[in-house]
Structure 1
Amino acid sequence: MRLFFIALLLIQFLSCKQEPQLVTLTGEALGTGYSVQFYSSERFDVVKKFDSTIAAINKSMSTYQPDSDISKINAGDTAIVVDTMFKEVLALSRKVYNATGGYYDPTVGILVNAYGFGPGKPLNVLDSAALDSLRNYVGLDKISLSANGRIQKENSAVYLDFNSIAKGYCIDRIGKMLEQNGVKNYLVELGGELLASGINLDKNQPWRVGIENIDAPINDRGYTAAVELDNKGMAGSGNYRKFRVDSLTGQRFVHTVNPINGLAEKSDILSSTVIASTCAEADAFATAFMALGLDKSKKVLEKHQDIEAYFIYATIDSSAVYMSKGFKNFLVN
């Protein structure tokens, strides 16, 4: 009789447990649009947890938020003790900085601001003398983290800017939040950058996403290829839409600033899409490849076979595609 009651209670429990249902969350965050799709059989306040994740990222490393930790550090506050997220992003930034020979560098922010792509005001005159002066404050080796969690600068003018990695990192944190709430199958997209885990249960296949066609009209984006992702992050960078024209000189500046020579100029890579184990890593490498150019990027990929890349690059009279050998394994036929 006792075993009968235990079995009956187990049957009742299992009958109450719902099959995983698709939940979709969309909106605006970090100045761009987002879409979160996941399957869950348990209810939890995903909106509250999502907003909390975004708020924590902003409080730690948003250069557009004056009271964030990174803004206070950039303003000269040496008493800020950075949080775990800040430490993780700094450590990953240093890893990619070393892997790319300094072509990925979050201290390039002072130049980004000078060109008018950051929260600061652009310089009225940006000649070679001004660039040479600003480059004295660029270099991740000019930043260190003390044992008590404080950022130490070689010079107070050194300016940290994690915008080229923070979005990817934010996506990774959202993925962790979902996993902590029992979610195994999800796709997180923020501003075109992605993190996928598990499968699309409705279609019983890996999550499928597209690589944007740079020749598509701004208001009618098309895709040049599709890939399948599982437990991978994907991020892209391109100069084909992000640029600024100086109103006085008519000179056109692209948003990718080369930290080595300080120039906001095009390389032969028009867009780079990277797949890596985390979206933050994909984000940082995609940015670096834009400055490295095709030949140097290929050499980096040869040494780091845990990341895969898809480049659209300029030829003499047109454009062409290069992809790393492993990237082909993600393509949808």
Structure 2
Amino acid sequence: MMILRLIYIISLQKGKFLQKLYIIMKNYLFIISFILLFSCENKNSDLKVLQGNAIGTTYSIKYIDTENDGFNLEIDSIIKAVNNSASTYIPTSNISKINKGDTTIVVDAIFEEVFKKSEKIYKETDGDFDPTVGILVNAWGFGPEAKIEDLDSVKIKSLLKYVGFNKVSIENKKVKKEYPEIYFDFNAIAKGYLVDLVGRNFEASNIENYMVEIGGEIRARGVNQKGNAWTIAIENPNFDGSRTFATTIQLHNESIATSGNYRKYRTTADGKKYVHTINAKTGYANESNLLSASVISKSDCADVDGYATALMAMGFEKSKEFLENHTELKAFLIYADENGDMQTYKSANFNN
């Protein structure tokens, strides 16, 4: 009887031991799982995301970094600097003062670089990109100044006298205008330029992997948090305000800008539509058969921003010809065919 009781006690103790061992192992496995989960989250936390508002639109910035505390203050400073230099919506900016005829303004590096890039694209596009179109942008009601009512061909012809980037220059850091009425509008390139300045700031901090998006204009370098090229989507030109996508592309150390007239336009009482892309040669804001132009290049985002605007002014057929002669640019175009049906076109070097 004593032997049987001893065996029973040992078995009972063994059972308690196994029960305790099970609880210990269960807790241990939970701790291991938590550590693994935390490690994964910690690894993914190298991806930083910044979002906010700038120059009348929104921005989304993603970058991979383990050393720096953050770039919010630096980005705010860059936005402020661009606004103070090139925003026509800020009365005290350099561009606003120059537009009002102040000839004493000594332009900063921002204004000068945007000016030189604009001059280059103006010449390459034979004037289809022209930031001196500002007086017409205002006249049609798309700028910061009052629009001209009952705008007709006679008034447009009189305003065209003050349009032409060949009528302006920079000498000794000061802008020279052939006519005081010439009105600069860098909105078609300044947004891309702001993207570039943010990207350059990351590169100066030795950050190799980032994507800066401001109002749809993008500069991407390196790879995303998964080690893949940054992937973005190109929207369909939906006039009803909905958002669908025509295609997706990967950016390999490239910039992309998209210009389109499907979101920013005015409709008159008689139903006539006027788009915000003003033809600097004719002075009119009529819609062309090109609905959307997305331009990709390894150059700066400011450059593709300007080229995308120029293509919209050219229309589809002329844009195709231009792209055939400028193979440093890739493009995805959405246009309306002779039946009014929406079609897409990819440049020969568009390999996404």
Given the two structures, how large is their TM-score scaled by the length of structure 2?
0.85
Q: Secondary structure at the match of 1:156?
A: coil
Whether contact under 8 Å (1:185, 1:200) holds in the other structure is: yes
Counterpart check, 1:230 vs 2:252: yes
Q: Secondary structure at the match of 2:230?
A: strand
Shift of 1:246: 3.1
Whether contact under 8 Å (2:239, 2:263) holds in the other structure is: no
Trace 1:16-55 onto structure 2 (pairs within 5 A).
Answer: 21-55=46-80
Question: What percentage of aligned pairs have identical amino acids?
Answer: 46
Partner in structure 1 of residue 182 of structure 2: 158
Q: 1:71-108: CA deviations, max 9, x gaps?
A: 00000100001011111111111111111110000000
Shift of 1:68: 0.3
Q: 1:251-297: CA deviations, max 9, x gaps?
A: 32111100010010111111100002211011001001011011211
How far, CA to CA, are the matches of 1:322 and 1:222 in structure 2?
A: 17
User: Of the candidates 33, 49, 58, which is equivalent to residue 83 of structure 2?
Assistant: 58
Trace 1:70-109 onto structure 2 (pairs within 5 A).
Answer: 70-109=95-134
Partner in structure 2 of residue 188 of structure 1: 212
Partner in structure 2 of residue 323 of structure 1: 346
Counterpart check, 1:239 vs 2:264: no
Whether contact under 8 Å (1:254, 1:264) holds in the other structure is: yes
Where does the alignment leave 5 or more consecutive residues of structure 2 unmatched? 1-41
Shift of 1:114: 0.3
- Which protein has the larger Cα radius of gyration, Structure 1 or Structure 2? 2
Partner in structure 1 of residue 318 of structure 2: 296
Whether contact under 8 Å (1:216, 1:222) holds in the other structure is: no
Q: Which runs of 4+ in 1 moved over 4 A?
A: none
Counterpart check, 1:118 vs 2:139: no
Q: Secondary structure at the match of 1:326?
A: coil
How far, CA to CA, are the matches of 2:205 and 2:316 in structure 1?
A: 41
Shift of 1:216: 7.5
User: Of the candidates 184, 188, 204, which is equivalent to residue 227 of structure 2?
Assistant: 204
How far, CA to CA, are the matches of 2:328 and 2:257 in structure 1?
A: 15
Trace 1:243-262 onto structure 2 (pairs within 5 A).
Answer: 243-247=265-269, 250-262=271-283
Whether contact under 8 Å (2:279, 2:313) holds in the other structure is: yes
Whether contact under 8 Å (2:235, 2:244) holds in the other structure is: yes
Shift of 1:136: 0.3
> Alignment length, in residue pairs?
308
Letter in 1 for 2:327: Q
Residues 316 and 299 (structure 1), Cα distance of their counterparts in 2 relative to 1, 3 Å cut: closer
| RMSD of aligned Cα (Å) | 1.4
Where does the alignment leave 5 or more consecutive residues of structure 1 unmatched? 1-17
Q: 1:42-88: CA deviations, max 9, x gaps?
A: 12340000000000000100000000000000001000010111111
Q: Secondary structure at the match of 2:262?
A: coil
Whether contact under 8 Å (1:232, 1:275) holds in the other structure is: yes
Residues 245 and 216 (structure 1), Cα distance of their counterparts in 2 relative to 1, 3 Å cut: closer
Given the two structures, how large is their TM-score scaled by the length of structure 1?
0.90
Shift of 1:242: 1.3
Residues 216 and 108 (structure 1), Cα distance of their counterparts in 2 relative to 1, 3 Å cut: closer
How far, CA to CA, are the matches of 1:241 and 1:69 in structure 2?
A: 29
Shift of 1:221: 1.3
How far, CA to CA, are the matches of 1:307 and 1:123 in structure 2?
A: 37
User: Of the candidates 208, 233, 243, which is equivalent to residue 221 of structure 1?
Assistant: 243
Letter in 2 for 1:74: N
How far, CA to CA, are the matches of 1:130 and 1:323 in structure 2?
A: 38
